Structure 1
Amino acid sequence: MLKILKESLKTAPIVKRGTYNYFIHPISDGVPVVKPELLRDVIACIVKNADLDVDKIVTIEAMGLPIGASLSQITDIPFIIIRKRKYELPGEIAVHQATGYSKGELYLNGISKGDRVLIVDDVISTGGTLAAVIKALEIAGAEIKDIVVVIQRGNGKKIIEDMGYNVQTLVSIDVDENGVQVLGCIDDECK
């Protein structure tokens, strides 16, 4: 499991953004192309490892969408998209997010008090986005049963765990000017 994800990360292009080595990958950026076999690899691993005894899957715009939609399709669990646009629907919850490269508001709709949720996302690096999502879900009165993120880079996972939440990551990576190094995987066969 995760062989396709691991191999695709090793060949991901790197671009410099100032001093930051940014990796470009179909799961995190949607380019160059999101292949079905890559999504199947990721979703199969999430299904194997996540707590799916939930009412709703929560994902974050934009690159959480393919993960959330694919997971919802095969589990029959509805999914909610945390959006970057305000809709002003009744009960909408706005929270501020700050990451290493952006700041802004996120908007949550469609969660009721007591909903048991699974959060899924593409990447955790600083933890800023995930911390904002958790705050919104806490305000809504949801019970966060599990958090699964495909790619871990940086110390964001520890920040979320310091908030009292476990974060499962499928792969952990490091990135330098020479490329992506896969440091570890959720399954032993990936190592």
Structure 2
Amino acid sequence: MDKLKQSLLDAPIIEKDGYHYFVHPISDGIPVLEPGLLREIVIQIIRKAELEDVDKIVTPAAMGIHISTAVSLMTDIPLVVIRKREYGLEGEVALSQQTGYSENEMYVNNVHEGDRVLLLDDVLSTGGTMKAITEALEHIGADVADVVAVIKKEGPNELDDTDYDVKTLINVDVQDGEVVITDEHGDG
């Protein structure tokens, strides 16, 4: 976990509409994502996540894709990407995604009733995206085996009052213009 911790401590902080957030290779693709960092994260996810009998990894576009692809390659579990584009395919389910700084429609395809899924994303901040996705997955009738985020930004989030205990690899806060590690082992 040394690479992840150090990369977060080195992350620049930017402000957008009064919302302070860190710029990081996992959450933004900037600066360059080193293979060693991605490898470290994937190994930790595989160790921490409930993967038994999981049929599909589900991730929202765009910044969950690289992590989920790497986990899929290591576990042979197929990957479903929730897109911000409507395709109109049979069984497509729309959901409204709200984050700390934006609101979008997103669309789930290829997740079916009875599918056992791992929901995987880069950062848990407000929890708006993950809550909307878990609700859509419940509506479909999928079984959410586990919910994992690489990085958790401290503070209340919309999953706090749900039945989902999100597992994280590292928890951080942004204080006085820098990233502070609040739990270097994350939750779960």
TM class by smaller structure: over 0.9
Q: Deviations over 1:115-151 (max 9, x none)?
A: 0011110001111000111011111110001011011
Name 1:112's counterpart in structure 2: 112
Name 1:73's counterpart in structure 2: 73
**SS of the residue aligned with 1:172?**
strand
Name 1:46's counterpart in structure 2: 45
State TM-score, norm by structure 2: 0.94
Name 2:87's counterpart in structure 1: 87
Gapped regions of structure 2 (runs ≥ 5): none
> What is the one-letter code of the residue matched to 2:37?
L
Name 2:29's counterpart in structure 1: 30
Name 1:131's counterpart in structure 2: 131
Q: Deviations over 1:52-111 (max 9, x none)?
A: 110111111000000110000000000100111111100000011111100011100011
8 Å Cα contact 2:152-2:186 kept in structure 1: no
- Indicate yes or no: 2:182 matched with 1:183: yes
| Identical positions, percent | 48
Name 1:19's counterpart in structure 2: 18
Moved over 3 A (4+): 154-157
Q: Deviations over 1:129-187 (max 9, x none)?
A: 00111011111110001011011114355x31411111101111001343101110337
* C-alpha distance in structure 1 between counterparts of 2:164 and 2:177, whole Å: 33
8 Å Cα contact 2:11-2:179 kept in structure 1: yes
Closer/same/farther in 2, CA of residues 92 and 128 from structure 1, 3 Å limit = same
Q: Whose helix proportion is higher, 1 or 2?
A: 1
* C-alpha distance in structure 1 between counterparts of 2:139 and 2:18, whole Å: 37
Closer/same/farther in 2, CA of residues 135 and 104 from structure 1, 3 Å limit = same
Paired residues in the alignment total 186
> What is the one-letter code of the residue matched to 1:61?
A
> What is the one-letter code of the residue matched to 2:136?
A
Name 1:9's counterpart in structure 2: 8
Q: Deviations over 1:23-74 (max 9, x none)?
A: 1000000011111001001001001111111011111100000011000000
8 Å Cα contact 2:19-2:100 kept in structure 1: no
8 Å Cα contact 1:128-1:156 kept in structure 2: no
> What is the one-letter code of the residue matched to 1:160?
L
- Indicate the RMSD between aligned Cα atoms, in angstroms: 1.5
* C-alpha distance in structure 1 between counterparts of 2:176 and 2:61, whole Å: 28
State TM-score, norm by structure 1: 0.93
8 Å Cα contact 1:106-1:132 kept in structure 2: no
Name 1:56's counterpart in structure 2: 56
* C-alpha distance in structure 2 between counterparts of 1:185 and 1:66, whole Å: 22
> 1:153-172, aligned counterparts within 5 Å?
153-157=153-157, 159-172=158-171
Name 2:151's counterpart in structure 1: 151
Gapped regions of structure 1 (runs ≥ 5): none
